[in-house]
Amino acid sequence: MIYADNAATTKMSQAAIDKMVSLMNDTYGNPSSLYRFGQKAKEALEEARETVASVIGAESREILFTSGGSEADNQAIRSAALLGKEKGKTHIVSTKFEHHAVLHTLAKLEKEGFTVTLLDVHEDGLVRPEEVEAAITDQTALVTIMYANNEIGTIQPISEIGRICRVKKVLFHTDAVQAIGHLPINVVEQNIDMLSASGHKFHGPKGTGFLYARKGIKLSNLIEGGAQERGKRAGTENVPAIASMAVALKEAANKMEKTSAYLTEKRNKLIDGLSKIEHSALNGDAEKRLPSNVNFCFEGIEGESLLLLLDEKGIAASSGSACTSGSLDPSHVLLAIGRVHDVAHGSLRLSLGEDVTDEDIDYMVKSVEEVVTYLRGFSPIWRDLQAGKKQFIL
Ligand X SMILES: *Cc1c(COP(=O)(O)O)cnc(C)c1O
| Residue of 286, 323, 340, 393 marked catalytic | 323
Return the closest-CA partner of residue 150 out of 117, 129, 180, 195: 180
Q: How many CB atoms lie within 10 A of CB 14?
A: 10
Between 146 and 307, CB nearer to ligand X: 146
Pairwise CA distance, residues 342 & 334, whole Å: 11
| Residue 297 a catalytic site member | no
Return the closest-CA partner of residue 152 out of 344, 300, 326: 344
Enumerate residues 6+ apart whose C-beta is below 8 A from 59: 53, 215
Between 161 and 301, CB nearer to ligand X: 161
Enumerate residues 6+ apart whose C-beta is below 8 A from 108: none
- Smallest gap from Cβ 102 to ligand X, in A, equals 7
Between 118 and 394, CB nearer to ligand X: 118
Pairwise CA distance, residues 247 & 264, whole Å: 24
Enumerate binding residues for ligand X (CB under 6 A): 68-70, 73, 99, 101, 146, 150, 175, 177-178, 198, 200-201, 209
Pairwise CA distance, residues 96 & 123, whole Å: 13
Please count the helices (runs of H) and the strands (runs of E) in the chain: 13, 12
- Smallest gap from Cβ 65 to ligand X, in A, equals 12
- List for the chain the helix, strand, coil content (%; round to 5): 45, 15, 40
- Smallest gap from Cβ 349 to ligand X, in A, equals 12
Enumerate residues 6+ apart whose C-beta is below 8 A from 356: 2, 4, 263, 266
- Smallest gap from Cβ 252 to ligand X, in A, equals 15
- Smallest gap from Cβ 73 to ligand X, in A, equals 6
Pairwise CA distance, residues 283 & 334, whole Å: 8
Between 66 and 140, CB nearer to ligand X: 66
Between 73 and 251, CB nearer to ligand X: 73
Pairwise CA distance, residues 36 & 385, whole Å: 72
Pairwise CA distance, residues 155 & 287, whole Å: 9
Backbone angles phi, psi at 347, to 5 degrees: -105, 155
Pairwise CA distance, residues 263 & 275, whole Å: 18
Between 42 and 267, CB nearer to ligand X: 267
> Which SS3 state, helix, strand or coil, does residue 142 take?
strand
- Smallest gap from Cβ 19 to ligand X, in A, equals 19
Pairwise CA distance, residues 179 & 176, whole Å: 5
CB 78 within 8 A of CB 222: yes
Between 70 and 379, CB nearer to ligand X: 70
- Smallest gap from Cβ 393 to ligand X, in A, equals 27
Between 333 and 385, CB nearer to ligand X: 333
- Smallest gap from Cβ 71 to ligand X, in A, equals 7
CB 168 within 8 A of CB 133: yes
Catalytic residues: 323
